[in-house]
């Protein structure tokens, strides 16, 4: 098990500095200026706290299942060219708004064969062109059955940091937490042609608990 894995702490570790900072500022303003001035800051602190929540998830037992890598809404289910593995593939895209859980989890069991990071723009992550123009981090995961899956973290309009804790050569388990995107974003999953898709445009999904697709 990679050292980057850790038991679910309810609040994501990536958020601890932001949460503590927001609460300290709100408390200082209340002490020195009163609660009326501090009230908006307390509301901001509560928003930051809810944004970094990281609840545990139950992993479905369905063999061959491809699990949702993020909470959010399906904005794309298309046959496309996988820009990372240069193949035709099925792309399923999950858009996360600021009220979704932003912890990212592996869609499959497998070995990380490669990783690519690209600096880029911060367009609205729900737009199709965000897949190729925004800042992004891609993982190539190969299952023990030989299925290739590309999982791509994509920064959004106000997302300013993609966090990925894993590296090529490590093994990911289905549902294992591997990263985080701060403040609005998207995750694309590229799957082999012939994969049976279980979701459609507009569906709401939950990371790990929702089955996006199934290998034959």
CA dihedral (114, 76, 90, 80) positive or negative? negative
Dump the DSSP string for 174-202. Answer: TT-EEEEESSSEEEEEEEETTPEE---TT
Q: Report helix, strand and coil shares of the chain as percent, to nearest 5.
A: 20, 40, 40
Looking at 93, 126, 131, 185, which residue is catalytic?
185
Q: What residue has token string 């699990």?
A: 67
**What radius of gyration, in Å, describes the C-alpha atoms of the chain?**
18
Helix (H) or strand (E) holding 53: strand 53-54
Q: State the Cα–Cα distance between residues 168 and 139, nearest whole angstrom.
A: 8
Q: What number of residues does the chain have?
A: 216
CA dihedral (109, 110, 116, 117) positive or negative? positive
The vertex-114 CA angle with 113 and 116, nearest 5°, equals 160
Task: Assess whether 185 carries a catalytic annotation.
Answer: yes
Which residues are designated catalytic? 185
């Amino acid at each position: 098990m990679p050292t980057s894995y850790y038991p679910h702490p309810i609040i994501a570790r990536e958020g601890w500095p932001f949460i503590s900072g927001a609460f300290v500022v709100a408390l200082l303003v209340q002490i020195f200026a009163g609660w009326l001035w501090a009230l908006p800051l307390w509301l901001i602190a509560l928003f930051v706290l809810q944004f970094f929540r990281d609840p545990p998830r139950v992993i479905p037992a369905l063999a061959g299942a491809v699990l949702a890598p993020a909470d959010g809404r399906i904005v794309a289910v298309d046959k496309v060219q996988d820009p990372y593995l240069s193949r035709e593939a099925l792309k399923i895209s999950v858009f996360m708004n600021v009220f979704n859980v932003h912890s990212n989890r592996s869609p499959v069991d497998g070995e990380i064969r490669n990783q690519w990071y690209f600096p880029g723009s911060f367009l609205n992550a729900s737009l199709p062109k965000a897949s190729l123009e925004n800042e992004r981090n891609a993982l190539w995961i190969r299952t023990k059955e030989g299925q290739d899956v590309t999982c791509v973290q994509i920064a959004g309009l106000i997302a300013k940091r993609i966090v990925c804790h894993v590296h090529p050569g490590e093994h990911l388990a289905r549902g294992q937490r591997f990263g985080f995107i701060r403040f609005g974003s998207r995750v694309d999953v590229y799957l082999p042609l012939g994969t049976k898709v279980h979701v459609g445009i507009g569906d709401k999904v939950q990371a790990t608990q929702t089955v996006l697709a199934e290998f034959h």
